């Protein structure tokens, strides 16, 4: 176990020789260790997000946050492998899965490291009982920024892993773009199904909404966009 | 004779160009030249001297020498210096603040460092840093010790102004300025140390420095009042530092007056 813990800084540094060796080696232990790190660090960050609302919500989100990562990885595993093959990367299924898992491990490590700061900010955020929704909006925005930054850093490393194995810069770029697009597309929908994560301050605390499979993320975005456009174009009707 | 004498007077004397060895000797000491052990001079004042003049020696001790002993010494220096600035800040209001403010300053600063330590380690790793977690912890303590030492250097300045003015806003600004200078040099040392050890500029440390400053500023609001009289503010009210500083009427020294209730008789 200690051997795998020592790999964490090496993974974050993107040390090419070691990572190349891990990608080639047929070891299930390293995959399981990455899953363990995602579960612990993702769970910690999820708990910090949910704590904004209540302890129960923190427990729900601590379970759902790593689950979202695993489901996204699993749903896209075959597709990402095929995309890599079609583009001429010549990676095995295990290598594509491991590369993505390692990238998610880096993202959750960053999120885990940011957890104390998020909890501290949460401690200083005006509670819902104060009647102000400023805290909710601020906390929502803060988490979007932190998760986006962690995702960005993880994808930079993913690009590094691929460049290491493939050796061609344009091809590695294409594959990362394709994988990120797929992960965002599926991840957006899965996060919709597993909602709420931060939750609306006016709705009750739930593990899942009563209609998790009713509608999808993109329909919701489309409806919100239409509503916004309608409000802008006909403000008088809204006032009436 | 006279011609040559007048020629000498007319032409300015050009100093000889120093050799590369002379240039190197005259150049101010850098991390590279000072990166060696402290020759068994590890007493408190010698470490203070080294933190100010030869920080690379302290860095060497952390990485190669008696790292636990030097870390404890750095912690003692940081705590002592933060207590000193805390006492000076407490002197503005006096009373119970003499006990509360030094405690708040020490705990607040160390807690802020502890909150930001995991992100420092991970961001450092992402930049290619090769240091272990305990080493990062000790180097952060070195930069906190330097910050604290600089605070102590500012104490006479703070005392003069605290005797001369009654304006809590001015004193708040002054202490903020002092903290700003101290933190600037502390973070600069941190960046230089990691850049030297890893032979590259660690870009993510700028981001981490920004986060650390925000946490410190928020901590100063969470642990308020640091300058006003003890119990003069409602400290259980949660506020962001921006709201606290720029909010009206919350940063005066006067005790909070209860709101006047309407007469319903």
ipTM attached to this prediction: 0.81
pTM of the predicted protein model: 0.81
Please answer yes or no on whether B238 and A123 come within 8 Å at the CB atom: yes
Please answer yes or no on whether A113 and B126 come within 8 Å at the CB atom: no
B72 at A interface, C-beta within 8 A: no
Q: Is A199 left (phi over 0), alpha (psi -120 to 50) or beta?
A: left
pLDDT tens per residue across span B40-51: 777 888 899 999
Burial of A64 (0-12, 13-18, 19+ CB in 10 A): buried
* Cβ-contact B125, B258 below 8 angstroms: no
Instruction: Provide the 8-state DSSP code for B54.
Output: -
Q: Using CA atoms, how far apart are residues A183 and A167, in angstroms rounded to an integer?
A: 23
Task: Reply yes or no: is the peptide bond before residue B225 cis, omega within 30 of 0.
Answer: yes
- Range from A23-32, A54-63, B67-76, B113-122 carrying the lowest mean pLDDT: A23-32
Instruction: Provide the 8-state DSSP code for A214.
Output: S
Please answer yes or no on whether A116 and B128 come within 8 Å at the CB atom: no
Share of chain B above pLDDT 70, in %: 78
Give the model's pLDDT for residue B261: 45
Give the model's pLDDT for residue B185: 94
Chain-centre distance of CA A53, in angstroms? 20
Residues of chain A with Cβ-Cβ distance to B219 below 8 Å are: 120
Say whether pLDDT at B53 is over 60. Answer: yes
Q: Using CA atoms, how far apart are residues A4 and A29, in angstroms rounded to an integer?
A: 9
Structure confidence at residue B11 as a pLDDT band (50, 70, 90): low
- Range from A189-203, B18-32, B215-229 carrying the lowest mean pLDDT: B18-32
Mutate to test the interface with B, among A2, A9, A141, A146 (most CBs of B within 10 A): A9
A125 at B interface, C-beta within 8 A: yes
Facing B122 at nearest CB: one of A113, A123, A124: A113
Q: pLDDT truncated to tens, each residue of chain A (240 aa)?
A: 778 888 888 888 888 778 888 888 877 888 999 999 999 999 999 999 999 888 899 999 999 999 999 999 999 999 999 999 889 888 899 999 999 999 999 999 999 999 999 999 998 888 777 777 777 788 888 999 999 999 999 999 999 888 888 888 999 999 999 999 999 988 888 888 888 888 777 788 888 888 777 777 778 778 878 887 887 777 555 555
A109 at B interface, C-beta within 8 A: yes
Query: In 10 A of CB A215, how many CB atoms?
Result: 12
A110 at B interface, C-beta within 8 A: yes
- Range from A103-112, B116-125, B133-142, B167-176 carrying the lowest mean pLDDT: B167-176
Give the model's pLDDT for residue A19: 83
Q: Using CA atoms, how far apart are residues B262 and B94, in angstroms rounded to an integer?
A: 36
End-to-end CA distance of chain B: 113
Facing A126 at nearest CB: one of B123, B215, B238: B238
Burial of B213 (0-12, 13-18, 19+ CB in 10 A): middle
Give the model's pLDDT for residue A215: 73
Structure confidence at residue B18 as a pLDDT band (50, 70, 90): low
Please answer yes or no on whether B215 and A117 come within 8 Å at the CB atom: yes
Chain-centre distance of CA A184, in angstroms? 9
């Amino acid at each position: 176990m200690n051997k795998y813990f020592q790999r964490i800084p090496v993974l974050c540094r993107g040390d090419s020789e070691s990572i190349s060796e891990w990608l080639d080696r047929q070891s299930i232990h390293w995959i399981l260790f990455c899953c363990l790190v995602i579960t612990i660090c993702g769970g910690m960050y999820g708990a910090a997000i949910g704590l904004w609302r209540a302890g129960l919500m923190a427990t729900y989100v601590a379970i759902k946050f790593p689950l979202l990562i695993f489901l996204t990885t699993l749903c896209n595993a075959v597709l990402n492998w095929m995309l890599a093959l079609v583009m001429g990367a010549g990676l095995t299924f295990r290598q594509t899965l491991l590369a993505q898992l390692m990238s998610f491990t880096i993202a959750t490590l960053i999120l885990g490291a940011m957890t104390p700061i998020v909890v501290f900010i949460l401690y200083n955020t005006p509670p819902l009982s104060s009647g102000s929704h400023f805290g909710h909006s601020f906390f929502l925005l803060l988490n979007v920024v932190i998760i986006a930054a962690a995702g960005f850093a993880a994808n930079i490393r993913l690009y590094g892993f691929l460049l290491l194995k493939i050796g061609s810069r344009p091809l590695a770029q294409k594959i990362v773009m394709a994988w990120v697009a797929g992960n965002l597309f599926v991840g957006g929908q899965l996060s919709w199904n597993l909602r709420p994560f931060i939750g609306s301050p006016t709705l009750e605390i739930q593990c899942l909404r009563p209609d998790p499979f009713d509608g999808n993320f993109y329909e919701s975005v489309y409806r919100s966009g239409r509503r916004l456009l309608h409000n802008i174009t006909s403000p008088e009707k809204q006032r009436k | 004779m006279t011609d040559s004498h007048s020629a000498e007077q007319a032409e300015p004397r050009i100093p000889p160009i120093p050799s590369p060895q002379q240039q190197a000797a005259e150049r101010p000491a850098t991390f590279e030249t000072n990166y060696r052990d402290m020759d068994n001079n590890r007493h408190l004042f010698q470490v203070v001297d080294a933190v100010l003049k030869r920080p690379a020696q302290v860095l060497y001790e952390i990485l190669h020498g008696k790292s636990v002993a030097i870390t404890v010494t750095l912690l003692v220096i940081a705590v002592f210096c933060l207590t000193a600035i805390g006492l000076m800040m407490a002197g503005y209001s006096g009373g119970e603040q003499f006990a509360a403010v030094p405690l708040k300053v020490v705990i607040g600063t160390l807690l802020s460092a502890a909150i930001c330590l995991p992100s420092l380690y991970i961001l450092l790793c992402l930049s290619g840093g090769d240091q272990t977690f305990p080493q990062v912890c000790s180097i952060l303590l070195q930069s906190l010790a330097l910050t604290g030492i600089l605070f102590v250097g500012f104490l006479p300045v703070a005392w003069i102004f605290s005797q001369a003015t009654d304006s809590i806003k001015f004193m708040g600004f002054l202490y903020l300025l002092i903290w700003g200078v101290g933190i600037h040099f502390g973070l600069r040392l941190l960046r230089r140390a990691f850049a030297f050890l890893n032979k590259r500029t660690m870009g993510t440390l700028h981001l981490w420095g920004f986060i650390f400053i925000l946490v410190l500023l928020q901590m100063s609001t969470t642990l308020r009042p640091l300058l006003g009289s003890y119990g003069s503010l409602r400290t259980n009210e949660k506020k962001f530092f921006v709201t606290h500083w720029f909010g009206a009427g919350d940063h005066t020294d006067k005790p909070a007056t209860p709101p006047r209730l309407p007469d319903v008789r």
